[in-house]
A and B are shown apart, each in its own frame.
Chain A
Amino acid sequence: MPRKQLNGRAIEVTDEGFLVNPSEWSEDLAPLLAKEIGIDNLTDAHWKVIRFMRSDFEAKGQIPSIRRMKNEGGIPTKELYELFPEGPAKKAAYVSGLGKPQGCV
Chain B
Amino acid sequence: MKRLVILGGGTAGTMMVNKLAPHLIPRGWEITIVDQSETHYYQPGFLFIPFGIYSKEDVVKPRRDYFPKGVNVIVNPIEVIDPRQQCVRLIDGTMLKYDLLIIATGSHINPGETEGLVNGSWNKSIFEFYTADGAVMLGDHLKQWKGGRLVINVVEMPIKCPVAPLEFAFLADWWFTEQGMRNEVEIEFVTPLPGAFTKPVASSLLGTFLERKNIKLIPEFSVGRVDGEAHKLVSWDEREVSYDLLVTIPTNMGAEVIGKSGLGDDLNFIPTDPKTLQSKSFENIFVIGDATDLPTSKAGSVAHFESDVLHENVLRFVEGRPLVGKFDGHANCFIESGHGKALLIDFNYDVEPLPGKYPLPGMGPFSLLQESKTNHWGKMMFRWMYWNLLIKGAELPVESQFYMAGKYRS
Residues of A that sit less than 8 Å from B by CB = 14, 60-62, 65-68, 71-72, 77-78, 80-81, 85-87, 89-90, 100-105
Contact = CB atoms under 8 A, between A and B. Distances in A.
B224 A101 contact: no
Given A66-B222, A78-B236, A85-B237, A104 B345 contact: yes
B335 interface: yes
B38 to A, nearest CB: 32
A105 B267 contact: no
B347 A87 contact: no
Nearest to A61: B295
Interface stretch (B5-13, B87-95, B126-134, B195-203): B195-203
B266 A68 contact: yes
A87 B219 CA distance: 10
Interface residues of B, number: 34
Nearest to A68: B266
Contact of A67 (B199, B267, B347): B267
Given A60-B295, A81-B236, 10 more contacts: A67-B156, A68-B267, A78-B236, A85-B237, A90-B220, A100-B194, A102-B198, A102-B199, A103-B198, A104-B162
Nearest to B251: A67
Interface string B323-336: 00000000101010
B331 A104 contact: yes
B interface: dominant SS: loop
Interface of B: 156-158, 162-163, 192-194, 197-200, 202, 220, 222, 224, 236-237, 251, 265-267, 271, 274, 293, 295-297, 331, 333, 335, 345, 347, 353
B236 A62 contact: no
Given A61-B274, A89-B192, A105 B345 contact: yes
Contacts of A80: 236
B352 to A, nearest CB: 8
Contacts of B158: 65
A71 B224 contact: no
Contacts of B200: 14
B157 A65 contact: yes
